[in-house]
Structure 1
Amino acid sequence: MICTYGDKTDVKWQKRHSLPQIIVITEDGKMNENAGKYVGLSIHECKKAIIEDLEKEELIVKKEVLKQSVGTCWRCHTPVEILSKHQWFMKTREMTDEVIKWTEKVRWVPAFAKKRMIDWALSLDWDWVISRQRIFATPIPVWYCIKCGETIVAKKEWLPVDPRFEKPKISSCPKCGSNKFIGETDVMDTWMDSSITCAVHAGWPNNPKTFKKLFPADLQPNGLDIIRTWDYYLMVKHLALFGIAPYKTVLINGMVRGSDGRMMHKSYGNYVEANAVIEKYGADALRQWAASGGSTGYDIPFRWSDVEYGKRFLTKLWNASRFILMNLSDNFKMENKIYKFETLDKWLLTKLEKLTEEVTEALENFQFNIAIEAIRNFTWHSFCDHYLEAVKPRLRASKGDSSEAVRYVLLYALYRIIQLLAPICPHITESIYQLIKPMLPMSNEEKSIHLTKWPTSNKSLISPEDEKIGELIIKVIALIRKLKAERKTSLKTQLKKAIVYVKEEDKEALNKHLDLISQVCFVNTIEIKPLKDESEIKVEIII
C-alpha cells in the first residue's frame, strides 16, 4: 500500500511490485477524505498532528534532527510532493541508443557537455511526460468519447484546434457511434514547443527549400542547466520526425555567479540587473565582462571591477581614436600603394596580423575570453602604450614618406582593431567606424562596421626579423621611461645620457635606431655597451 511518495524510488517500487495506491493529498496540498480525521489539513499541519497523536499514544521512542535531501520548488522552496496523475508520454527511452549515436556525432563546446547529455539519456527511469495541468500552453488535440472512452486524435487538417472549447470534426464515435465527446483539458509541456525550434527556424513545415538548406542548425547555443531538457528534447523530437540530429554544434555557456560565489538569483539577494550595469558603464563594458569572464561552458563570476576595467579599455580606445583623427588631415585616404614603412611600423603590422590570426581562431573555437584578452592586450599596450608614443616625433612632420607611412599604419591598425572587436563591442566600434569611414578605400566603405568582411591575416606584412628588432627598440624605450618615472622625473625631461647594455648580436640593429630612441625619450646621447652576465637588457640614465 502506498499513501505518499518520498522520492522517485518509491514510485519505481510501486510500479515494480504493483502496489495499490491510496491518494491522500489533493492538488492544492490539503489532506482528502482518505486521510480520515486529518481531512482538510495542510501537509505541514497534518505532519504535526500525526506526531502529536503518536506522542499521546506513547508510540514515539526517539526524536533526533536529521539532514536529508528534499526536493523543493526552485522559486519558493516549498517541498515538492509527488502526486499520481494520468499523463501523456512520448516514448523516448526506446530511442536512447539512437540519441547516444547522434550525440557522439555532434560537436560539443566544451567537450565535457557531451558526457552530460549521454549520462542524462542513460539515467532516465521513464519516458518524457509531455502533458501539464495548466491553463496557458499548447492544447493537446484529443477528445474522449463520453460513452465508451474511445480516444479521438485530431487529424492534421483540423489543426490548430483547442479541444477544451471546440468539438472534434466527426459526427460520431468510430467505435460506439455516440456523438458526445469531452475534450482533453491537459496542455503540453512547454518543451514540446521548444523541441521543434531547429526545424521551424529552418522553414519547416511551410518552406521545404529553405528547410533543406538550413537544417540541421549549424549552432545550438544554450546554458549548461538545460542540456537535459532543451538539447535532449530537441534531439528526441527531431530524431522521431526526421531521423537526424537537429544541430551540428552545441555551444554551452555556464551560469552567472554573484559576488558571494553562489548562483546569481533574486531569492539569494545577490542579483544584479543588467540595466543597472549598462546605465553605469555602458553595454559594451558589460559585453566585455561576459566575453572575458571565463572559459566557455564554465560559470562566470560577476565582479563590478571587471566591468569597470572594460570601461577603462573603451576609454583608452576612444582616446586613441581621437588622437589618430587629430593627426590625420581631412583629405587623408588609405590607398592601395607601397608605403615606406620603418622598423616600428613593420613591428606593429606583424603583431597586428598575428593578432588577426589569434582572434579568428579563438572565435571559431568559441574561446571568447582568449579573443577579447588578445585584442585588449594588443590595443592597450602594443598600440597605445608603445607604438603611439614612439611615433609621435614622426607625426610632427606634415609631409614626407615617413609621415605618410605612419599615418597609414595608424588608420590601418585602428580599422583592424575595431573589426576584430565589433562582435563583442558593437557600439563603440560602430561609432569609430563612422568617423574613419571617409578615409577608407572605396571597396571598404560599407554602411556599418558590422557589414564589413571579416579580416584575414596579410602574410606579406609579417616580418619576424622586424618584430624582433622592434621588440628590442620598444624594450629600451620602456626601460628609459620607467627609470624616469622611478626618479619622479617628467617623461619630457631631457637626459644627458643613457647607457644601454645589450647582447653583442643586438648592438648593430639597435645602433640604427638610436635617433628614434633619443627623440622619443628626450636623450642627448645614447651609448651602447655589451651585456655581460645578465640575460635581459639593462639601462642606466644620467639626468
Structure 2
Amino acid sequence: YGDKADVKTVAKHKLPVIQCIDEKGRMNKNAGKYAGLTIEEAKKAIIEDLKKEGLLEKIENIKQEVGVCWRCHTPIEILDREQWFMKTRILTDRVEKEALEITWYPDYMKYRLIDWAKSLDWDWVISRQRVFATPIPIWYCKNCGETILAEPEWLPIDPRVEKPKIDKCPKCGSTEFEPERDVLDTWMDSSITCAVHAGWPDRKDWKRLFPADLHASGIDIIRTWAYYLMVRHLALFDEKPYKSCLINGMVLGTDGRMMHKSLGNYVASSEVFSKYGADATRQWAAGGGATGSDIPFRWPDVEFGWRFLIKLWNAARFVSHQLKDYKPDEEEYALQPLDRWILSKAEKLTEKVTEALENCQFNIAMDEIRNFAWHVLCDCYIEAVKDRLYKPEVYGEEKKRAAQYTLYTVLYRILQLLAPIAPHITEEIYQTMYAEEKGYESIHLSPWPAVNEKLMDEEAEKSGDLIMAVITEVRREKAEKRMPLNTQIKKLTIYAGEKDLAESIERGREDITGTCKALKIEIVASTGEGREVKPYGNVRFVAEY
C-alpha cells in the first residue's frame, strides 16, 4: 500500500492483497525478478525495464505528499498484518458529549479532539510489532487455536517467556501453547494514567481523586493522549477521565521550525540552565506566548528573565536592610498617599494574577508580576520612599514605619504570586526574610493570597499615579540634562491646572520634595508654563537649579 487511501480501496472492493515487500524493506518472492532488491533499487530497475520495452512515455518531477518516519524521514510502506484493535468509534458520540462539557484551555482545542474522533476511518490499533513494550498477555492453543487470555491475578506476565497458568487448553485439552509476540501500543499504558494517579486499582477510595481536575497535554498529542484517555476511561468506568484539559503549544527553534534534534535547531536545557538558571528559563516558558500557541525559544527572553531576577534580588536586599529595626506587630500604621497607592495596586495585581492563573493564562500572569515588581515597586515606590526611610528625624518615625510595613507587605505579595513560576529565588528570599515571622516551612506551603478589598482604593491610586508622574518627569528632566538625580532643586513650581489635582499633589508634597531633592515647592492650582507631566496635559512644572 502507498497510503491509507489504498488500504481503504482494497478493503472496499475486497481486492486480493499481494505483498511484495518484507519487514526489512526488500522485495520478496512475489516481486519476481526484483526479489532481494531494496524499494529504491526496485523502482530504478522497473524504470529501466519499462524503457527497454518501450513502455515509458515520459519522466518528470512531481510534488506529492509522502508519509515518512518522524525520526529518520524514511518513506513509510504499509504492510498487511493482523492486529489487535480496541473498538473506539462506537464511543464517538460520547466523546463529543464529554468533550463539550470539559473545560479547555484554550477553549477551541476541544474541537480538535471532536474533529479527530469524527474523522477516524478505523478503530484504535493497539498492537505493535516491536521488542520493547508492554506484552499482550495472550496465548494460542497449538492444536485448536483457542485464545487464552491471562487472568488479572496472573499479571504482570510476559507470554513470550512464561506459559499460561493453566494445565491444558479449556477447549481441546492440549498442553502446548503459542505466545502472542506482539506488544501493546505505548498509549495503552498512558491511556489509563488518570485512574492510576487517583489510586486505581489498588485503593478503594480512588474515586475521590477521579476524574482528574486537570489534564496537561500538548497540541501534538490531542489525537493520542487526550483521545485515548477519553475512550479508555469511558470504556472501563463510563466516566470522563478529566474535568479540564490544558493544551500547550510546541517549542520552536530560532529558525521558526519545531525544535527537534534531527533538525539541528534544538538547544539543550542543561545549556540554558547552566547559563541563566531554572527560574529564568521557567519565566520564558510561562511568558513566551498565549496558552495553546507555539513558543519560540529566544535567548534574549531568557536573559530578560534572568535580569528581572537580579532586579528582584537587589530589591529584596534593599528592603531587608531597611527592615532591620522593623517588627510587623502593629495593627495601625500612618499610611501616606504613596503607601496606600501601592498597597491598592498590589491587591489589584493579586486579583489579575489569580484570574490569569485560574484560566491558565501564564503569560498574562508573568507580565503583570514583572511589570509591577520592576516598574511600580522598584522604579517608583522604592525611589519615592528612600528619603522617608533614611531621615526619620525629618519625616517622623511613624511615616518611616508606614513605609517599612508597606515594603514588607508588598514584597511578600510579589513572592507569593511569583512562587509557582520562579520557585527557587522566591523560596530563598522567603527563608531569609519571612519564614520566622510567617511560620510556614516553605513559601510553597503557604496559602495563596486572598484579595483584601479594604485596601483597594481608587482615589489613592489616582492621587498616587499623579504624584509618581510628577516625580518621574522631574527625574527624567535631570537625566536629560545629564544631572545627577540627587542634584538639588532650589525651587520647584508645579502648575496643577485645577484645584482637585493641586490637592492630590499637595498630599504627596513630602515624597516629591524628598525624592526630587527640592528645597522649596510651590503648588499652583492654575495653569502655567514649563515641562509637561505626562500623561496629564495641564500639569506642568518649572525647576530652578
Same fold at TM > 0.5: yes
Partner of 2:214: helix, strand, or coil? strand
Give secondary structure in 1 for the equivalent of 2:490: strand
Deviation at 1:292, TM superposition (A): 0.3
Q: Does the aligned pair in 1 maintain the 2:169–2:175 contact within 8 Å?
A: yes
2:478 match: secondary structure: helix
Read off the aligned partner of 2:363 and give its amino acid letter.
N
Alignment partner, residue 451 of structure 2: 457
Q: Which runs of 5+ in 2 are unaligned?
A: none
Pick aligned residue for 2:207 from 196, 206, 212: 212
Q: In the TM superposition, what are the counterparts of 1:320-335 in structure 2 within 5 Å? A: 320-329=315-324, 332-335=326-329
**Which residue in the other structure is 1:369 paired with?**
363
Q: Encode CA deviations 1:179-209: one digit per residue, 9 max, x unaligned.
A: 2110100010010011000011101111011
**Residue aligned with 1:325, SS:** helix
Hey, what's the Cα distance between the residues in 1 that align with 2:138 and 2:312? 61
Aligned equivalent of 1:184: 180
Question: 1:259 matched to which residue of 2?
Answer: 254
- The 2-side partners of 1:278 and 1:177 are apart by 63
SS at match of 1:25: coil
1-structure distance, mates of 2:435, 2:460? 31
- 2:63 is aligned with 1:67: yes
| Contact 2:326 2:401 (8 Å CA) reproduced | no
Aligned residues: 534
SS class of match (1:495): coil
> For residue 27 of structure 1, what is the aligned residue in structure 2?
23
Q: Is the 8 A contact 2:388 2:514 kept in 1?
A: no
Aligned amino acid, residue 42 of structure 1: T
CA contact (8 A) 2:467 2:504 kept: no
Alignment partner, residue 166 of structure 2: 170
Shift of residue 104 of structure 1?
A: 1.1
Tell me if the contact between 1:146 and 1:181 (Cα under 8 Å) persists in the aligned partners: yes
The alignment's C-alpha RMSD in Å is: 1.4
Taking the aligned partners of 2:320 and 2:269, their CA distance within structure 1 comes to 33
Match of 1:378 among 369, 372, 376: 372
Identity over aligned pairs, percent: 59
SS in 1 for 2:256: coil
Alignment of 1:343-358 (within 5 A): 343-358=337-352
Following TM superposition, by how much is the alpha carbon of 1:56 offset from its aligned partner in structure 2, in angstroms?
A: 1.2
Mean CA deviation greater in 511-520 or 475-484: 511-520
Map residues 38-437 of structure 1 onto 2, 5 A cutoff: 38-209=34-205, 211-329=206-324, 332-397=326-391, 400-437=397-434
Residue 527 of structure 1 and its aligned partner are, at CA, apart by 3.2
Specify the code of the residue in structure 1 equivalent to 2:83. Q
Q: Secondary structure of 1:247's match?
A: coil
Displacement of 1:519: 1.6
- Structure 1: distance between partners of 2:511 and 2:102: 55
SS at match of 2:158: coil
C-alpha deviation, 1:167, in angstroms: 1.5
Alignment pair present for 1:511 and 2:513: no
Question: Alpha carbons of 1:234 and 1:294: their partners in 2 closer, same or farther (altered >3 Å)?
Answer: same
Distance in 2, Cα, partners of 1:139 & 1:405: 68
Once the two structures are TM-superposed, the CA of residue 128 in structure 1 deviates from its matched residue by 0.3
Give the partner amino acid of 2:304. Y
Which amino acid in 1 is paired with 2:72?
Answer: C
Question: Residues 492 and 40 of structure 1: is their aligned pair in 2 closer, same or farther, counting only changes over 3 Å?
Answer: same
Instruction: Give the residue type in structure 2 aligned to 1:542.
Output: E
State the distance in 2 between where 1:314 and 1:338 align: 32
Measured after TM superposition, the shift of residue 161 of structure 1 is: 1.6
Displacement of 1:478 in angstroms is 0.3
Q: Answer yes or no: is the 8 Å Cα contact 2:488–2:519 preserved in 1.
A: yes
The one-letter code of the counterpart of 2:412 is Y
Q: Which amino acid aligns with 2:459?
A: E
One-letter amino acid matched to 1:173: C
Partner of residue 539, structure 1: 541
Unaligned runs of 5+ in 1: none
TM-score (structure 2 length as normaliser): 0.96
Q: Distance in 2 between the 1:295 and 1:309 partners?
A: 18
* Deviation, structure 1 residue 380: 0.5
* 1:521 equivalent in structure 2: 516
| Structure 1 Cα separation of the partners of residues 10 and 155 of structure 2 | 38
C-alpha displacement at 1:439, in angstroms?
6.1
